[in-house]
Amino acid sequence: MAGSATAWPAALRLDKVGVVIAAIAATGLVLPLATLRANRIVAGEPRALLDALPPLQGGMLLAILVAASLVALLRTPALVRLGASLAALAALALLIGQAAMFLTPPGNSFARVSPAAGFWVLAFAFALLSADALTRLAPGPLARVGVLALVAALAALLLASGAWDGLSVMKEYAVRADRFWAEALAHVVLALGSLAASTLLGVPLGILCHRRATLRAAVLNVLNVVQTIPSIALFGVLMAPLAWIAANVPGAADLGVRGIGMAPAFVALVLYSLLPVVANTVIGLAQVPAAANDAARGVGMTGGQRLRQVELPLALPVILTGIRIVLVQNIGLATVAALIGGGGFGVFVFQGVGQTALDLVLLGAAPTVALAFAAAVLLDSAVAWSARHKGSAA
């Protein structure tokens, strides 16, 4: 009897992180779930969860969200927490589409239904619960990539099913589908192209800075200054010299070098990317154990062989961390390139701001966030894999 009396309170102990998550979820339940607008630019009417859905679906969603909040609040196994978070996120994703169909008046092609603050707060709360559960489970690199692939597949299935077709953001997409994918390609080219260029330039420069301390201080100071320049200002500074090159250097314009467009955006992103790559290369090489270099010298390796076979493999996790920072940073900064004609998802963001069309802003912002999240997961997995491989090699 005494043992069961003490075990019961222990089962109801609160989880510290879960208390915060439950508080965020409770806030989301109070806020409106959806907004109904007469057209795409006017102010909308907020609708609470139980008003935004038919009674059965509203009650089901409320029950799932409350149950998931209780799972978060109490000290529950990590797998249970992960399952509860995924169930809550899936219910939110499916039923917000039902809210669009329920709230849109029949035959009205002008009305718009959008997720409101409550939806986003609830999605954040249960995404946080999912991240907390995955952290506790500590999945390996391949498992992380697998989870990402599963989430991407489910999201693609949801979009292909038409469950969200009634939402305003999908109506914006339907009008601009061809343009959307063209700008998506431009965004990816800007982000990945600048990453590749900065890696090809930054890693050798980092190796040189590691070898020469006097050069290291000068290079890092210059790159630090570049990082302090606002992106819009740097784009503007680059427009004049690139325009001069396009006008005076034969063949430059044919290669795409111009004062506006992708060229200044690409150069600016490369300049922003150099500091993380160079600094992390220097730090990674500095952390290579002296004993490893001594052993390499002892077996007769040359300087180049030591660099390729010992130093760079051992420094790889730190270098990849710098590359991860660059890619996530560039995916975000590429949005600003639209202001100078560089294309990308920023085209929809700034068009939406100019037209006071928040769902058009969302059409550009949501895929940018999704790309940054996917890039972070993939490169975090690469960092973890390289660190594990480094440990096994050592």
This prediction has a pTM of 0.84
Residue 177: count of CB within 10 angstroms of its CB: 10
Q: What is the mean pLDDT of residues 126-152?
A: 90
User: What percent of the chain has pLDDT above 70?
Assistant: 94
pLDDT of residue 289: 85
Alpha helices in the chain (DSSP H): 2-11, 16-30, 49-52, 55-73, 78-103, 117-137, 141-161, 168-175, 177-211, 213-228, 231-248, 262-286, 290-298, 303-306, 312-333, 346-355, 358-393
Where are the strands (E) in 223-308, listed by range? none
The structure tokens listed for 270 are 């490369």
Reported confidence tier of residue 291, pLDDT bands at 50, 70, 90: confident
Asked if pLDDT for residue 8 goes beyond 60, the answer is: no
The structure tokens listed for 392 are 């096994």
Q: What is the mean pLDDT of residues 71-96?
A: 93
Which class for 107: exposed (0-12), middle (13-18), buried (19 or more C-beta within 10 A)? exposed
pLDDT of residue 390: 60
Question: In the chain, where are the structural domains located?
Answer: 2-158, 177-393
Q: CA 337, 338, 343, 348 torsion: positive or negative?
A: positive
Asked if pLDDT for residue 387 goes beyond 90, the answer is: no
pLDDT digits (tens, 9 = 90+) for 160-211: 888 898 899 999 898 888 999 999 999 999 999 999 999 999 999 999 998 8
Q: Tell me which of 123 and 1 has the higher pLDDT.
A: 123
Q: What is the mean pLDDT of residues 207-228?
A: 88
The residue type found at 356 is T
Asked if pLDDT for residue 92 goes beyond 60, the answer is: yes
The structure tokens listed for 295 are 């052993």
Report the topology of domain 177-393: MetI-like fold (1.10.3720)
Residue 258: count of CB within 10 angstroms of its CB: 19
Asked if pLDDT for residue 48 goes beyond 90, the answer is: yes
Q: What single DSSP character describes residue 314?
A: H
pLDDT digits (tens, 9 = 90+) for 306-360: 888 888 888 888 999 999 999 999 998 889 888 887 888 999 999 988 888 888 9
pLDDT digits (tens, 9 = 90+) for 246-283: 777 777 676 667 767 778 888 888 988 899 999 999 99
pLDDT of residue 4: 47
pLDDT digits (tens, 9 = 90+) for 231-251: 778 777 777 777 777 777 777
